[in-house]
Copies of this chain bind each other. A is one copy, B any other.
C-alpha cells in the first residue's frame, strides 16, 4: 500500500468538522514560510544542497512530538496523479507539484499538520482545521514551529523577521486563510463589492484551488497579504475580524432571500439535491454548484438528512485526480463526469441508509 493509498483511505480530519460547525466556513488554514540559515533558497540551490535540506528537515520533523506517526511522502518520486491528489487535498501547492527539485511532504495521518519541504521556501508548515478556528490552527502550528526551531537554524533577521524566497512573505512568514461559502452574496450580486472591500483591506480573495482558480461552488478563500510589521496574533485576529463581518453580510443576504423568495429558494435547493442523487453525468463545476446549493440548504435547516462532513468529503473526492485514483486509471473528461455522478449517487445513497 503506497503512502498515497494510506492517505486517501479516509477523509482528512478537517473535512469531518466538529460539533456546531458553521456551514458558511469550510476551513481555517495557516501556513508558515521558513528557510534554513546560510542555505540558498530552493530555486537557486543545487540538487545536492536540496537533498541535504530535505534530509535535515525530514530528520527534524521526525523529532517533533507534534508530528508523531506522520507519513513522509517523497513528492519527487510520485507520478502526476499522486502529486495532484496532494494538490486536491490542499497538502501541496500546484507549483510544488510541477517543480523538478527533490522535495517531500511530511503529513500527519489526519492531515491537520504538515510540512512541505523544498517548496519555494525550504519549509512550508501548514495547519488546517474545520470551520472558523484560526486561533486553534495557529496554536498548533506555533507549537510545531517552536519544536522545529529546536532542531533547525531558521534564516532570521532582527529587523525583517523570517527571510523568505518571495519578499511578500518576509516578516512573520505567516499566511492565514479561511475558506468561506457565500452563496447568498453571490445570489444577491453583492459578492463583487465584498471582494473589493476585502482587497482594499489588503486581504487576498481566491477560489478554492488558490491563485487563478475559478470561484467554483461559491467558495472563497480569504487570506492576509501582509506579513511584515504585524505580529502573528494580530494577523490572525485581524483576519478573523474581517471574516466575521463577511459572515454577517452573508447571513443577511440569506435572511432576505428567505423572506422574499422562500419557496423559490427551497425549490432551487431541493432540485440541486435531486439532481445530485440522480444525474448520470456531472462536471466538476456543476457538481460544485449543486453541492453549494445543498450546503446552503443544510445551513438554513431546509435539508436535514445530510450532514456537512459528507458534503465536505464530496468536495475533495469528486476532483479529477481522486476519481482517477479510485478508479485505478486515467479517464477522459466524459468518463470522469460519469464516474463522478456515480460516486456522488453512491455516497448520498449510503448517507440515506445510515440516516
- Name A's B-contacting residues (CB within 8 A): 263-264, 266-267, 270-271, 273-275, 277-281, 334, 338, 341
In the assembled complex, the Cα of A266 lies from the Cα of B277 at a distance in Å of 14
Interface of A is mostly: helix
Contact of A338 among B263, B273, B341 (CB under 8 A): B263
- B-side contacts of A264, CB under 8 Å: 281
Q: Decide: A280 and B275 in contact? CB cutoff 8 A.
A: no
In the assembled complex, the Cα of A9 lies from the Cα of B279 at a distance in Å of 35
- B-side contacts of A271, CB under 8 Å: 275, 278-280
Q: Decide: A277 and B280 in contact? CB cutoff 8 A.
A: no
Closest-by-CB residue of B relative to A265 is B280
Contact of A267 among B263, B273, B274, B279 (CB under 8 A): B279
Q: How many copies does the complex hold?
A: 2
- B-side contacts of A278, CB under 8 Å: 270-271, 273-274, 277
Q: Decide: B263 and A270 in contact? CB cutoff 8 A.
A: no
A-B contact list, 25 entries, CB within 8 Å: A263-B280, A263-B281, A263-B334, A263-B338, A264-B281, A266-B280, A267-B279, A267-B280, A267-B281, A267-B341, A270-B278, A270-B279, A270-B280, A271-B275, A271-B278, A271-B279, A271-B280, A273-B278, A274-B274, A274-B275, A274-B277, A274-B278, A274-B279, A275-B275, A277-B278
- B-side contacts of A263, CB under 8 Å: 280-281, 334, 338
Closest-by-CB residue of B relative to A302 is B280
- B-side contacts of A274, CB under 8 Å: 274-275, 277-279
- B-side contacts of A341, CB under 8 Å: 267
- B-side contacts of A275, CB under 8 Å: 271, 274-275
- B-side contacts of A270, CB under 8 Å: 278-280
In the assembled complex, the Cα of A277 lies from the Cα of B338 at a distance in Å of 21
In the assembled complex, the Cα of A280 lies from the Cα of B279 at a distance in Å of 18
In the assembled complex, the Cα of A273 lies from the Cα of B264 at a distance in Å of 19
How far in angstroms is the closest Cβ of chain B from A342? Answer: 11
Tell me which of A271, A273, A275, A281 has the highest count of chain B C-beta atoms within 10 A of its own C-beta.
A271
- B-side contacts of A267, CB under 8 Å: 279-281, 341
In the assembled complex, the Cα of A263 lies from the Cα of B273 at a distance in Å of 20
How far in angstroms is the closest Cβ of chain B from A267? Answer: 4
How far in angstroms is the closest Cβ of chain B from A287? Answer: 13
Q: Other CB < 8 Å A-B pairs besides A267-B341, A274-B275, A277-B278, 11 of them? A: A263-B280, A263-B334, A264-B281, A267-B281, A270-B278, A271-B275, A271-B278, A271-B280, A274-B274, A274-B278, A274-B279
How far in angstroms is the closest Cβ of chain B from A285? Answer: 15
- B-side contacts of A266, CB under 8 Å: 280
How far in angstroms is the closest Cβ of chain B from A203? Answer: 37
- B-side contacts of A277, CB under 8 Å: 274, 278
In the assembled complex, the Cα of A274 lies from the Cα of B275 at a distance in Å of 5
How far in angstroms is the closest Cβ of chain B from A294? Answer: 11
